[in-house]
Amino acid sequence: MNLSRLNNNTVEELISVYQKHGNPEILEEIIDRNRKLLYKIANKYKNSRHNMDDILQMAYTGLLVGINRFNKDNKNKFSTFAFYCINGEILHNLRDTNLIKLPRWLQKLNTVFNRFVRDFESKNGRYPTKEEISSGINISTESVDEILKAREITIYNKDNSSQFNHDEAIIDRSLIRSRSPKSFELVMEDKILLWDAVDRLKGLNKKILVLNYIFGLSQEEIGKKMGISQRSVSRNIKDSLEKIKEEIA
């Protein structure tokens, strides 16, 4: 695509083209035109406990949310919409996250999203397109849309003191799917089921299963760490797995 032909287009028009074609050069042009706004907002938070690089990454994420969620048919200027997206994303990360309760599986998915975006920007010197995010974390483009929608809802919820019910339809789980199956790797739909099931475990059951399957500790190491016998650890893991099977079933 010849970008020189788009030089006279407004940011709003460029966003419309980007949303249709996902061209990374158009995305970079949109970011360039909004870089001054992005830095202006980020600079307001430079004295917070986060370093400036972290704040800028939050700001870029907010800008991407704005670019992907902007609807030019509303007749609003993108700069106004972008301000709320960028500012909201930074505040959402700096404030007490307990103000808004998200399902644990969505928190984990959001962490995967953030890690990929940060690493991609560091390696490539630019922000990833929606298609590149989709490919990079192996989820469908519809899944990326749902994640961005969930971020928008949680960030700009007017009543920040309220807590979201886990059953509230803030995101359509049926649209969160792997882009393509990979050998020896659970598809995203199954990961979500597993995260959900593990999150429903309580107390010692949950701690032991996480130490065993997430951190890779042996049953003997877990026993010493928790002050119980290896046999108790084994019995606990078996009990937890049975509960997870019941949850998934």
How do the pLDDT tens digits run along the chain, 249 residues long? 566 677 788 899 999 988 888 888 888 889 999 999 999 999 888 765 667 888 888 888 889 888 988 887 777 789 988 988 898 888 777 754 433 456 667 777 888 888 888 888 778 877 788 889 999 999 998 888 888 777 666 554 544 434 444 434 456 777 788 888 776 667 777 777 777 777 777 778 878 887 776 667 888 888 888 788 888 888 888 888 888 777 766
Q: Does 192 reside within a domain?
A: no
d(CA 24, CA 124): 11
d(CA 1, CA 25): 9
Q: Does 155 reside within a domain?
A: yes
Domain that holds residue 127: 3-185
Q: Are residues 140 and 209 in the same domain?
A: no
**Residue 185 phi/psi, 5° resolution?**
-140, 130
pLDDT of residue 78: 92
Q: Are residues 178 and 83 in the same domain?
A: yes
User: Do the beta carbons of residue 208 and residue 237 sit within 8 Å?
Assistant: yes
Number of structural domains found in the chain: 2
Q: Are residues 220 and 120 in the same domain?
A: no
Rounded to two decimals, the pTM is 0.49
Out of 185, 215, 241, pick the residue that ends a domain.
185
Q: Are residues 174 and 52 in the same domain?
A: yes
**Residue 151 phi/psi, 5° resolution?**
-60, -40
Return the CA Rg of the chain.
21
Q: Which 3 state secondary structure label does DSSP give 139? A: strand
CB-based contacts of 228: which residues, under 8 Å, 6+ apart? none
Q: Are residues 224 and 159 in the same domain?
A: no
Q: Does 193 reside within a domain?
A: no
Q: Which of 111, 90, 96, 107 is nearest to 170 (CA)?
A: 107
Out of 133, 156, 185, pick the residue that ends a domain.
185
CATH code of the domain in which 243 resides: 1.10.10.10
Residue matched to tokens 């990929």: 116
Q: Are residues 103 and 207 in the same domain?
A: no
Q: Are residues 62 and 124 in the same domain?
A: yes
Q: Are residues 179 and 227 in the same domain?
A: no
Q: Are residues 217 and 181 in the same domain?
A: no
Q: Does 195 reside within a domain?
A: no
Q: Are residues 25 and 123 in the same domain?
A: yes
Out of 185, 208, 227, pick the residue that ends a domain.
185
Q: Are residues 65 and 165 in the same domain?
A: yes
User: Do the beta carbons of residue 32 and residue 7 sit within 8 Å?
Assistant: no
d(CA 128, CA 22): 10
Q: Are residues 70 and 117 in the same domain?
A: yes
| HSE value, Cβ hemisphere, 13 Å, CA-based, for 179 | 13
